[in-house]
Structure formats: structure tokens, C-alpha cells
């Protein structure tokens, strides 16, 4: 067996793969829909296609599809065609190909049937099935064996147990097909799968595949529509398939870059095994990063734009990539126009909270066009805001994972540390992290104010230990544990450079002082060079009611008019959220 990439992304970074084994006639009927729907809805996938016979038109279609693939990586599998018609029957051959592919790539396989249609991202599939050797639909209570398993969509892990199962299954399928005098049968395949599962089940970790990954009833919220019972394709399914094919062949005029959350953040991880990648994908903050590009794409598609999502590593994003994607507008994650100024770039970012994103033509935070605006002063507080703020406090929601450490020591001012080298410090701060610590240490020593420095959960450098060793005292307290919401609640004030903790502190009504440039600068107390003591006195002297009213107005305006909060049941889908004044009306463009 040989396989080679024939289209789509030139990447070997996938850690599982979709396998379609079918005849040429089946590919002619269903190939565009399967590959096209993956490319549109699940561009993070690697698709392996094996045609079990020689149909020139099917091979030509596969080549044309490969030339059009945008996000997925498409591979052709060339397998030996020896043996009789039964041995080359796709219902038998696909299991053999799957076993060979598992052995050759050491990557899990999602085995699908012709007629499968992908409707949503499959990025979380490997995380959900990471402990399974094999997964497919099963209904063991059914009286007839052929009705007990549903093998349209099957997940196969990588280990010796799975290979043992496939060898046993191959013998069972051959025996049952032979009994039918050379007539291959879907029932015979299902009976063989069931009997083999029963025989191997005591050593095999079998999981009933969640129905959203193999939905024969084709419900709107399912991620994969498997071929329906008895071939009864609904009108909705036909319409959706036609829309997918039309969109697949259309030239995109907008591309949304989606950062690969499994490979690393700013640089590719040196050790990026499957366990590490699954763990990264399962983090709450990264889950929202998977949803944000799709929401932006959906909003643009609603207005008639031809949109494609392209998963990329953050390190691959630059002017060269945008030039290659011409003439489309490109939504770029985690980047500012100051980093590279490209006329077709639009920038989006996760800001302050895991579920909150912004888009802008210049960047995020203080680099955005709305930064410093006083518009929030004239906008009424949204009716949803009180519930949002209460839910954040009750759920103790924050971007980084927290480790409770019992009752915190007595202190006056909370000073959350940021990650050295963080983009917010590089691009939006006129001071360094060390200068921030030094200024607060001196302030504490001079005034007797007890300052508590909290290590950032994602800081893997030696900065915290260095500062603790150099500055620990009765007024400079350094802690690694303690939930940041508990610390905010115990603080008289919160002093930040431009940390998201400042925004959280606003929702508690605490005085917030900012050393750097932050998204919330217009609402909090700035710290001028050498003026920390004055800023602290001013902030504490302000009446609580006036401060809370200002904070609430800003936070409500920021969350509901500037940002997009992805976990809201109702979103503002106006064009101003997309940093595009209006849809293009150039000739030949929609």
C-alpha cells in the first residue's frame, strides 16, 4: 500500500485521519460531498481516499477535488488490486486498508462510508475518543445480529489490540462473504463485525460512538451525517449537499485563519505527542479559540461572502501567507497591524475572558480603533450585564487555571504578575514586568502598604523565583497559589500593568490601577511615572457607587458592543463586529 498527498495543506501535523474506501462509481456520486464538507466544516482533518477499482472518471474527479482543497490535506491511497471481486469489495477491503494505514502512520483512523457528510468541526473527536480502541454505533438490545451494529462511521485506535481485532474480522468477513456464493452483503459485514466484537470484547476497549458523529437521522446539531437508513436521503440533506458542493468550488473572498491549538502557541512544541495535543485541545480557553473562527465565518457567510477557514500555526502567519491568499480579506488571530501592516488583514483576539473575542482593522486591546473611546459613558448598561457579572463571580471565571491555596495571607493590594514576554507586555506596555514589581515594592516599603504578588499560572520562567528572592518582605508578599477571585475579593485595590485580572476586578467593584496600556484604560486609574502613591490615594478616595457605575457602563459596553461573547444565546451580528464597513460590491464578487 502506498499513499501520497495530492492536495490541500502541505502538512504532516495531523494526529488522526479520515479514511474513505469506495468504488469509483461511489466516489463519483459522493466524493465531492465528503471531501468538500470536510474542507468547509472540518478543515483540520487529513483525508485518505482509496478507490477499489479503475474508473478513469473517478480518478479524474479526485484530482480536480485535490486541486480545489483549501484547508484539509488530501491523500490518495494506492492498494494492490489482486484477488477476486469479493476481496476487492469496499465493504471488505476498507477494513484491510484501515489496518495497513494504522500500521504505516501510527495515527488513529475514522473510517467513513460513501454518502457521509461532515457538518461541523471534528477537532474534539480525538479528545473524546482518546481512551477507545474502537468506537461505532451499537444497539445490543436488538434481536437480530445485523441490527446490533452501525458501521457507517468507525473510530480505530492505534495498538496491537485493534490490529488483532482487524485480523479476526478479516477472517470472519471472508467466511461470511464466501457463504453467500460471491455476493457481498452489508448484512454479512455487520454480522462479522458483531461476532468479532463479541469474541474480542473482553480485551478490547469498545466505546459506543456518540450519535452526533454518526447521525443517520441527520439532525441539525450533529457533526456528521452518516448515510441514512435504506438510502432515504431527505430534502434537507440534498439541499445541504448541494450548498456544500457549490461553496467548495467557489473562490473564497474571505479567509479566516484558525490557530492550531494542538501544536503550540507561538512556536511548535518540541514534544507534541497525541496525549499532549489532546490535553491542549481540552483546555477551556482553547475550546473557545476553536469556536471563534467558525463564528466569524458564519457571520460573513450570512451576508453572502464566500468564506473559508484555514488552520495554521501562529508562527506561519505573516505577510507572505496573506499574499498567497490574495485576493481575499484575511482574518488574522492574535496579531496587530503594528506587527505587519497588510491592506487585506483584519485582526481578532481572545481578550480578558475565555469566551470574549474582539475583531478590528488595526488589532486588539489598546491597538484597536475603539481604544480610549468614551462612548461607554453614554450607553446604558445592557440588561444582560448584571447576570453576566454575577455568573462570572459565582463561577470564578478567569482565563488561566487556578490552584486554591487556602486562606491568603493578610495584604492590602493585589499585584497579579503576567507572563514574561507576553504580547500584552511587548506591544502595550511602556514599563517592564521587573520595573512594575520594583515600583510596587518601593511603594509598599515607603507607605507600609502590603502588596501581594501572585505568580501567573502559565509562567514557566524563573522570573517569579528571582523576584521573590530579591524582594520578599513584610510588605512584599509573593504567592504561587490562591484563586485570583478570592484574592480580588480580599484586596483593597488591584494594581496591574494590563492584565485581564484588572477587568475581573472591575466586576467586583474594586479600585483598579493600571501601569500599562489596557483595553479598560478609559475606565480605571492610570499610574503615571513616579505617581503610584497619588494614584492609589485617588482611587481609594473615590465613592464606591461612582466607581461601580463607571465600571459597569464600560464592561457592559465592551462585552456587548465591542466584543463577541461566544457563550451568549444572542449575539450582535452587525458588520461593525467584523471590522468591515460593508460587503464588497466589486464586479464578480458577492
Beta-carbon count within 10 A of 203 CB: 11
C-alpha cell at 296: 466569524
- Rounded Cα–Cα distance for residues 490 and 450 (Å): 12
Q: What's the full length of the chain, in residues?
A: 590
Residue 574 DSSP one-character state: -
- Whole-number Å distance between alpha carbons of 49 and 131: 26
Radius of gyration of the CA atoms of the chain, in A = 28
Count Cβ atoms within 10 A of the Cβ of residue 396 and give its class: 0-12 exposed, 13-18 middle, 19 or more buried.
middle
- In degrees to the nearest 10, what's the CA dihedral of 34, 36, 41, 43? 100
Phi, psi of 281 (to 5 degrees): -65, -25
The CA distances from residue 173 to 26, 94, 110, 181, in Å, are 21, 11, 20, 13
Residue 143 burial (C-beta neighbours within 10 Å; 0-12, 13-18, 19+): exposed
Cell 500555526, located at residue: 313
Classify burial at 170, counting beta carbons within 10 Å of its beta carbon; exposed 0-12, middle 13-18, buried 19 or more.
Answer: middle
* Apex 32 CA angle, 26 and 34, nearest 5: 80
Evaluate whether 477 touches 467 at the Cβ level (below 8 Å).
no
Distances (CA, A) of 308 to 48, 257, 302, 325, 389: 21, 9, 13, 11, 35
Strand-strand pairing, 476-479 and 451-454? parallel
User: Are 113 and 152 contacting, i.e. CB atoms less than 8 angstroms apart?
Assistant: yes
**Dihedral over Cα of 179, 181, 182, 188: its sign:** negative
Confidence (pLDDT) at 583: 36
Which residues are 451's β-sheet partners?
Answer: 413, 476
Closest-CA residue to 496 (of 524, 463, 473, 476): 524
| CA distances, 432 to each of 197, 422, 512 (Å) | 61, 11, 19
Q: What is the DSSP letter of 522?
A: G
d(C-alpha 256, C-alpha 578), whole Å:
11
Retrieve residue 356's grid coordinates.
470574549
- Rounded to the nearest 10 degrees, the angle between the axes of helix 56-68 and helix 24-41 is 10
The series of mean pLDDT values per 10 residues for the chain, 590 residues long, is 88 89 95 95 94 94 95 91 68 92 95 94 89 91 82 95 95 77 66 91 91 90 86 77 92 94 82 81 83 90 91 90 92 92 93 92 93 93 94 92 84 96 90 95 96 94 95 96 94 96 97 94 91 95 97 95 82 49 34
Run of H or E residues at 330: strand 329-333
DSSP designation for 253? S
* Predicted pLDDT of residue 584: 35
Instruction: Please work out, in degrees rounded to the nearest 5, the angle formed at the alpha carbon of residue 97 by the alpha carbons of 188 and 14.
Output: 125
Q: CA-CA distance, 70 to 64, in Å (whole number)? A: 12
How much is the pLDDT for 230? Answer: 65
Amino acid at each position: 500500500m502506498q499513499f501520497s498527498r495530492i492536495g490541500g495543506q502541505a502538512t504532516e501535523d495531523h494526529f488522526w485521519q479520515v479514511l474513505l474506501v469506495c468504488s469509483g462509481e461511489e466516489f463519483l456520486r459522493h466524493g465531492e460531498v465528503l471531501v468538500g464538507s470536510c474542507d468547509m466544516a472540518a478543515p483540520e482533518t487529513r483525508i485518505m481516499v482509496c478507490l477499489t477499482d479503475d474508473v478513469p472518471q473517478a480518478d479524474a474527479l479526485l484530482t480536480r477535488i485535490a486541486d480545489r482543497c483549501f484547508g484539509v490535506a488530501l491523500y490518495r491511497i494506492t492498494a494492490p488490486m489482486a484477488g477476486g471481486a469479493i476481496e476487492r469489495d469496499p465493504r471488505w477491503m476498507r477494513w484491510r486498508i484501515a489496518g495497513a494505514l494504522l500500521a504505516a502512520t501510527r495515527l488513529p483512523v475514522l473510517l467513513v462510508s460513501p454518502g457521509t457528510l461532515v457538518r461541523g468541526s471534528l477537532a474534539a473527536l480525538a479528545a473524546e475518543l482518546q481512551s477507545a480502541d474502537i468506537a461505532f454505533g451499537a444497539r445490543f438490545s436488538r434481536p437480530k445480529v445485523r441490527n446490533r451494529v452501525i458501521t457507517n462511521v468507525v473510530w480505530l485506535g492505534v495498538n496491537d489490540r485493534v490490529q488483532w481485532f482487524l485480523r479476526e474480522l478479516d477472517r470472519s468477513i471472508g467466511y461470511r462473504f464466501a457463504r453467500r456464493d460471491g455476493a457481498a452483503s452489508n448484512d454479512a459485514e455487520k454480522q462479522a463485525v458483531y461476532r468479532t466484537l463479541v469474541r474480542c470484547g473482553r480485551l478490547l476497549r469498545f466505546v459506543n460512538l456518540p450519535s452526533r458523529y454518526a447521525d443517520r437521522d441527520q439532525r441539525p446539531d450533529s457533526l456528521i451525517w452518516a448515510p441514512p437508513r435504506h438510502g432515504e436521503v431527505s430534502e434537507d440533506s440534498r439541499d445541504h449537499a448541494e450548498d456544500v458542493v457549490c461553496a467548495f468550488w467557489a473562490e473564497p473572498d474571505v479567509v479566516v485563519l484558525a490557530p492550531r491549538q494542538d501544536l503550540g502557541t507561538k512556536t511548535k512544541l518540541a514534544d507534541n505527542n497525541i496525549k499532549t495535543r489532546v490535553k491542549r485541545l481540552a483546555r477551556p480557553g482553547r475550546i473557545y479559540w476553536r469556536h471563534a473562527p467558525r463564528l466569524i465565518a458564519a457571520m460573513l457567510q450570512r451576508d453572502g461572502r464566500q468564506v473559508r477557514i484555514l488552520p495554521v500555526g501562529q508562527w506561519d502567519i505573516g505577510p507572505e501567507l496573506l499574499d498567497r491568499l490574495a485576493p481575499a480579506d484575511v482574518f488574522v488571530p492574535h496579531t496587530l497591524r503594528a506587527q505587519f501592516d497588510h491592506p487585506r488583514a483584519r485582526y481578532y483576539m481572545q481578550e480578558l475572558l475565555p469566551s470574549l473575542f474582539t475583531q478590528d482593522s488595526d488589532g486588539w486591546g489598546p491597538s484597536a480603533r475603539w481604544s480610549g473611546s468614551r462612548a461607554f459613558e453614554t450607553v446604558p448598561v445592557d440588561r444582560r450585564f448584571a447576570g453576566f457579572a454575577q455568573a462570572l463571580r459565582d463561577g470564578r471565571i478567569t482565563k488561566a487555571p487556578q490552584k486554591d491555596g487556602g486562606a491568603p495571607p493578610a495584604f492590602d493590594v493585589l499585584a497579579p504578575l503576567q507572563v514574561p514576554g507576553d504580547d500584552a507586555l511587548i506591544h502595550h506596555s511602556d514599563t517592564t514586568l521587573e520595573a512594575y514589581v520594583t515600583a510596587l515594592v518601593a511603594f509598599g516599603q515607603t507607605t507600609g502598604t502590603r502588596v501581594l504578588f501572585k505568580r501567573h499560572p502559565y509562567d514557566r520562567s524563573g522570573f517569579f523565583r528571582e523576584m521573590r528572592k530579591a524582594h520578599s518582605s513584610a510588605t512584599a508578599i509573593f504567592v504561587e497559589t490562591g484563586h485570583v477571585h478570592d484574592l480580588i475579593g480580599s484586596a483593597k485595590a488591584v494594581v496591574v500593568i494590563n492584565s485581564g485580572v484588572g477587568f475581573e476586578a472591575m466586576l467586583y467593584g474594586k479600585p483598579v490601577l493600571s501601569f500599562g496600556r489596557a483595553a479598560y484604560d478609559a475606565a480605571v486609574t492610570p499610574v503615571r511615572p513616579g505617581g503610584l502613591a497619588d494614584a492609589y490615594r485617588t482611587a481609594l478616595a473615590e465613592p464606591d457607587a461612582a466607581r461601580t457605575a463607571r465600571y459597569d457602563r464600560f464592561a457592559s459596553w465592551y462585552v456587548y458592543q465591542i466584543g463577541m461573547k461566544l457563550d451568549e444565546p444572542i449575539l450582535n451580528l452587525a458588520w461593525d463586529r467584523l471590522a468591515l464597513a460593508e460587503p464588497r460590491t466589486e464586479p464578480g464578487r458577492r
